[in-house]
Amino acid sequence: MNRIEYLWKSTFVGSLVLLASISLFALPAVAQAPPQLLQQGRLLDDAGEPMTGDVVMEFSIYDAPSEGATLWQSEFTVSVDETGFYSAVLGAHGTPLTADVFSQAQTWIGIAVDGGEELSPRFQLQSVPYSLSSARSERAAVADQVADGAITRDALASDVLDDTLAAISCAPGEVPISSASGWDCGNIEGLTLAEVEEAVGTSLGSLNCGAGEIVRFDGSQWGCELGSDIYLETSGATMHGDLVVQEFEILKLPDNSVETRYRERKTTRLVVRNQRRRETVMIPRERLHEICSDGCTYTIAMRYWRNENVELGSRGPHAFSYDGETGRWRNSNNNSGVSGDGSLNHVQNVGGWNCCYFTEAEYIAGSNQGDTTRDMFLLNNSSSTCPLNDTSSLECILTFYD
């Protein structure tokens, strides 16, 4: 999975990629500090490149997915790193959050960047933030009927505290241990880790996770498992992501020694689409290098190349390699070249129909601009075998797989 990307279009940023990470900061039971909500995401421009630096963001919470009443709103400056990632604590800057904001049955969050229009669609907040309304339980109706100081330890029934830690009084050096009959005191000196876990239960402190693993609770105990860097994009509410995998690698060195190891990498898919007739769209050089510098596969397809009833023609998969530093590339059909050397070479022409080209040259209004940069392009062409008018529906689709 490449990256889960919901596209929220704006006049200032082309897309907003939201991490699926919204966390409510825990509050002490007696504290009256305003609640806070952690909201994280990535900001990309129209070309799919990360925004960086300080960005003014306005966060709003509504009672409806569109229009509706504004329940809360605040604007402040957020720092965005080199990958476009930001992290904002709502309620910690500007307008404080209150429990009344989440008293509605459902709420949605909207985001605007650098004074632009609010991105669409809004993102619905799920069940965790609604725990804020639990602050209203501080004055439950039944509690109002109990006189102050009426509940004491002596006033409780004799067996109420039998199976609770409140009834345990351990000697120095002893710890509470759970057993079938309840809690008791014991000494864990000399016990193995497995014996301690059996006595007191698996704790986070007893885990020893490896690189790239995350802690997960399976319903009965905590454990370690290989994690993935997953975030959401806002264009059709589809989840995508970068899946981290481990490969077993055998490497023979120049000194005739052999090394074996596990190597982690991300599996990624890059999709490039071009509906603009007689022109190219540039493939992001850094992304193409990331996917194809050690080899990748791709398919190239065209949709509606003769009329609206012709659905899809495709070729591939083909093997391909590309180095963004030198511009060198090679295709599995033995086509090869150096992007940026002034000599035009096409990587692939779908089926020889001259409709869609994977190429190293840029075209504008049907005119070849030459091979002047290390960039690669996808051309939506016109020929006798393709629709000739510029308003036809021909679409070229290039998909890379790592």
pLDDT tens readout for residues 236-270: 444 445 567 777 888 888 888 888 888 777 777 88
State which H helix or E strand residue 8 sits in: none
Instruction: Calculate the average pLDDT of the chain.
Output: 75
Model pLDDT for residues 314-368, shown as the tens digit of each residue: 888 999 999 999 999 999 988 999 999 999 999 998 877 788 999 999 999 889 9
- For the whole model, what pTM was predicted? 0.40
- How far is residue 361 CA from its own chain's centroid? 33
Domain end residue (candidates: 112, 138, 164): 138
pLDDT score for 232: 36
Position with higher pLDDT, 142 vs 94? 94
Residue 253 lies in a domain: no
Adjacent-strand bridge partners of 73: 60
Position with higher pLDDT, 199 vs 285? 285
Q: What is the mean pLDDT of the segment spanning 268-286?
A: 89
Amino acid at site 267:
T
Instruction: Give the angle subtended at the CA of 330 by the CAs of 5 and 380, to the nearest 5°.
Output: 55
Residue 386 lies in a domain: yes
pLDDT score for 2: 31
Q: Provide the residue range defining the domain that includes 336.
A: 270-401
Whether the Cβ atoms of residue 203 and residue 214 lie closer than 8 Å to each other? no
Kindly list the distances between the CA atom of residue 124 and the CA atoms of 77, 130, 201, in Å, as whole numbers in the listed order.
23, 12, 36
Per-residue b/e over 186-205, b at no fewer than 16 CB within 10 Å? beeeeeeeeebeeebebeee
Domain end residue (candidates: 138, 159, 192): 138
Residue 89 lies in a domain: yes
Model pLDDT for residues 173-198, shown as the tens digit of each residue: 677 776 666 677 777 666 666 666 66
Longest dimension (CA), the chain: 96
pLDDT score for 199: 58
Whether the Cβ atoms of residue 273 and residue 235 lie closer than 8 Å to each other? no
Residue 229 lies in a domain: no
Query: Which residue has tokens 């609604």?
Result: 130
Q: Of 321, 400, 322, nearest to 2 (Cα)?
A: 400
Residue 50 lies in a domain: yes
Number of Cβ atoms within 10 Å of the Cβ of 95: 15
Domain end residue (candidates: 85, 103, 138): 138
| Ranges 29-33, 224-228, 271-275: which has the least confidence | 29-33
Q: What is the mean pLDDT of the segment spanning 222-227?
A: 70
Residue 69 lies in a domain: yes
Residues 201 and 272: their CA atoms lie apart, in Å, by 51
Domain count, the chain: 2
CATH number of the domain where residue 79 is located = 2.60.40
Residue 173 lies in a domain: no
Residues 302 and 83: their CA atoms lie apart, in Å, by 32
Residue 345 lies in a domain: yes
